[in-house]
A and B are shown apart, each in its own frame.
Chain A
Amino acid sequence: MAIEAILEQCRALVEDPSSFEAVDRWKAAHPGGRAVGCFPVYSPAELVHAAGMLPVGVFGGGNEIEIAHADSRFQSFICSIIKSTLELGLTGRMKILDGMLFQNICDPARNLASIFKRNFPDMFIEYLHLPQNLGSPRGIEYLAAEYRRVLRALEGWTGQPITDAALRASIGWYNRTRALVRALYQVRAEAPQLLSTVELYTLSRAGVLVGPEAHAQLLEGALATVWDRVVKPKDRLRVVLEGSFCEQPPLGLIEGIEEAGCYILDDDFLLGWRWFSQDVEVDGDPVAALARGYADRSVYSAVKHDLREPKAKHLLDKVRTLKADAVIILAPKFCEPALFDYPLYRKALEEAGILHLFLEFEEKMWIFDRARTEVETFVESMLFD
Chain B
Amino acid sequence: MEKTAYQERIHLQQKALMGRYYDELTAAAKGGEGKAVYMLISGNPIELVRAFDLLPVYPEVNALQLAAKKQSLPLIQRAEEVGYSVDNCGYVKADVGLYFSGGVTSFGTIPPPALILCNYVGCNVYLQWFEHLAEYTGAETYNLDIPFVRDPEWRILPKDVEYVVRQLEEVIEICERITGRPLDWKKLRQILARSAETEELWSAIKDLTRNVPSPFDAYFDAATMMGPLYCLRGSQECVEFFRMAHAELEAKVREGTGPLPKERFRTVIEGPPPWPYFRSFRDLFSRWGAVCVASTYSTVGGVWEFGFRHDPQRPLESIAEHMLFWNVTNRNFLQRYDQLRQYVEGWQADALVIHSIKSCRLFSAGQGDMREYFSKELGVPTLLVESDLEDPRYYSEAQMRNRVDAFFESLEHRKLTAVRQGG
- List A residues at the B interface (Cβ < 8 Å): 71-75, 77-78, 82, 104-108, 110-115, 117-119, 126-129, 131-136, 138-139, 141-142, 145-146, 149, 302-303, 305, 307, 310-311, 333-334, 336-337, 339-344, 346-347, 358
Expressed in whole angstroms, the minimum distance between the Cβ of A204 and any Cβ of chain B is 26
B61 within 8 A of A: no
A74 and B366 within 8 A (CB): yes
Enumerate chain B residues within 8 angstroms of A132, measured Cβ to Cβ: 120, 127, 143, 145
B334 and A117 within 8 A (CB): yes
1/0 per residue, CB under 8 A from A, across B106-141: the answer is 000000000000001011110110011011000001
Enumerate chain B residues within 8 angstroms of A110, measured Cβ to Cβ: 122, 124, 148, 332-333, 362, 365
B159 within 8 A of A: yes
Enumerate chain A residues within 8 angstroms of B84, measured Cβ to Cβ: 339-340, 342-343
**Which of these, A141, A336, A347, contacts B82 with CB under 8 Å?**
A347
B185 within 8 A of A: no
1/0 per residue, CB under 8 A from A, across B140-152: the answer is 0111110110100
Q: A135 to B118, alpha carbons, bound, how many Å? A: 13
Q: A285 to B128, alpha carbons, bound, how many Å? A: 32
B191 within 8 A of A: no
Expressed in whole angstroms, the minimum distance between the Cβ of B48 and any Cβ of chain A is 16
A75-B356, A110-B124, A142-B159 given; name 14 further pairs at CB < 8 Å: A72-B368, A77-B361, A108-B361, A118-B334, A118-B337, A136-B167, A145-B159, A305-B128, A333-B87, A336-B88, A337-B128, A339-B88, A342-B83, A343-B132
Pick 30 A–B contacts, CB within 8 A, sort by A: A74-B366, A75-B368, A77-B361, A104-B148, A105-B124, A107-B365, A110-B365, A111-B333, A112-B365, A112-B366, A115-B366, A118-B337, A118-B369, A132-B127, A133-B143, A133-B145, A134-B143, A136-B170, A145-B163, A302-B128, A303-B124, A305-B131, A310-B135, A334-B87, A339-B85, A339-B88, A340-B132, A342-B84, A343-B132, A347-B82
Enumerate chain A residues within 8 angstroms of B296, measured Cβ to Cβ: none
Q: A336 to B364, alpha carbons, bound, how many Å? A: 14
Residue of A nearest to B167 (CB): A138
B266 within 8 A of A: no
Expressed in whole angstroms, the minimum distance between the Cβ of B16 and any Cβ of chain A is 36
B55 within 8 A of A: no
Enumerate chain B residues within 8 angstroms of A337, measured Cβ to Cβ: 124, 128
Q: A268 to B52, alpha carbons, bound, how many Å? A: 43
Residue of B nearest to A312 (CB): B135
Enumerate chain A residues within 8 angstroms of B167, measured Cβ to Cβ: 133, 136, 138
B364 and A114 within 8 A (CB): no
A138 and B166 within 8 A (CB): yes
Enumerate chain B residues within 8 angstroms of A115, measured Cβ to Cβ: 333, 366, 369
B interface residues, tally (CB under 8 Å)? 52
Enumerate chain B residues within 8 angstroms of A135, measured Cβ to Cβ: 142-143
**Which of these, A107, A341, A342, contacts B362 with CB under 8 Å?**
A107
A75 and B120 within 8 A (CB): no
Expressed in whole angstroms, the minimum distance between the Cβ of B164 and any Cβ of chain A is 9
Q: Given the known inter-chain contacts A337-B124, A340-B88, please indicate yes or no for A129 contacting B148, CB distance below 8 A.
A: yes
Enumerate chain A residues within 8 angstroms of B367, measured Cβ to Cβ: 75
A139 and B145 within 8 A (CB): yes
Residue of A nearest to B377 (CB): A118
B124 and A142 within 8 A (CB): no
Enumerate chain B residues within 8 angstroms of A105, measured Cβ to Cβ: 124
Q: Given the known inter-chain contacts A111-B333, A305-B128, A305-B143, please indicate yes or no for A73 contacting B368, CB distance below 8 A.
A: yes
Q: Given the known inter-chain contacts A111-B333, A114-B332, please indicate yes or no for A142 contacting B87, CB distance below 8 A.
A: no
Enumerate chain A residues within 8 angstroms of B334, measured Cβ to Cβ: 114, 117-118
**Which of these, B124, B131, B366, contacts A106 with CB under 8 Å?**
B124
B358 within 8 A of A: yes
B218 within 8 A of A: no
Enumerate chain B residues within 8 angstroms of A340, measured Cβ to Cβ: 84-85, 88, 92, 125, 128, 132
- For B150, B333, B334, the residue with the greatest tally of chain A CB atoms inside 10 Å of its CB is B150
Q: A132 to B134, alpha carbons, bound, how many Å? A: 15
B372 within 8 A of A: yes
Enumerate chain B residues within 8 angstroms of A74, measured Cβ to Cβ: 365-366, 368-369
B131 and A311 within 8 A (CB): yes
Expressed in whole angstroms, the minimum distance between the Cβ of B134 and any Cβ of chain A is 7
Q: A136 to B168, alpha carbons, bound, how many Å? A: 12
**Which of these, B135, B147, B150, B361, contacts A336 with CB under 8 Å?**
B361
Residue of B nearest to A142 (CB): B163
Q: Given the known inter-chain contacts A136-B170, A346-B82, please indicate yes or no for A129 contacting B150, CB distance below 8 A.
A: yes
Enumerate chain A residues within 8 angstroms of B142, measured Cβ to Cβ: 133, 135
**Which of these, B135, B166, B332, contacts A311 with CB under 8 Å?**
B135
A346 and B368 within 8 A (CB): no
B373 and A118 within 8 A (CB): yes
B135 and A344 within 8 A (CB): yes
Expressed in whole angstroms, the minimum distance between the Cβ of B323 and any Cβ of chain A is 13
**Which of these, B87, B127, B166, B332, contacts A305 with CB under 8 Å?**
B127
Q: A71 to B124, alpha carbons, bound, how many Å? A: 23
Enumerate chain A residues within 8 angstroms of B333, measured Cβ to Cβ: 110-111, 114-115
Q: A126 to B127, alpha carbons, bound, how many Å? A: 23
B87 and A339 within 8 A (CB): yes
Expressed in whole angstroms, the minimum distance between the Cβ of A302 and any Cβ of chain B is 8
Residue of B nearest to A339 (CB): B85
Enumerate chain B residues within 8 angstroms of A333, measured Cβ to Cβ: 87
Expressed in whole angstroms, the minimum distance between the Cβ of A254 and any Cβ of chain B is 22
B124 and A307 within 8 A (CB): no
- By Cβ-Cβ distance, the 5 closest A-B pairs, closest first, are A114-B333, A343-B83, A108-B365, A133-B145, A339-B85
Expressed in whole angstroms, the minimum distance between the Cβ of B72 and any Cβ of chain A is 18
A78 and B132 within 8 A (CB): no
Enumerate chain A residues within 8 angstroms of B337, measured Cβ to Cβ: 118
B364 and A75 within 8 A (CB): yes
Q: A21 to B307, alpha carbons, bound, how many Å? A: 51
B386 within 8 A of A: yes
B208 within 8 A of A: no
B147 and A146 within 8 A (CB): yes
Enumerate chain A residues within 8 angstroms of B166, measured Cβ to Cβ: 138
Residue of B nearest to A108 (CB): B365
B132 and A129 within 8 A (CB): no
B344 within 8 A of A: no
Enumerate chain A residues within 8 angstroms of B79, measured Cβ to Cβ: 343
**Which of these, A119, A127, A341, contacts B150 with CB under 8 Å?**
A127
Enumerate chain A residues within 8 angstroms of B372, measured Cβ to Cβ: 72-73
Residue of B nearest to A139 (CB): B145
Expressed in whole angstroms, the minimum distance between the Cβ of B385 and any Cβ of chain A is 11
Residue of A nearest to B159 (CB): A145
Expressed in whole angstroms, the minimum distance between the Cβ of A141 and any Cβ of chain B is 8
- For A133, A303, A341, the residue with the greatest tally of chain B CB atoms inside 10 Å of its CB is A133
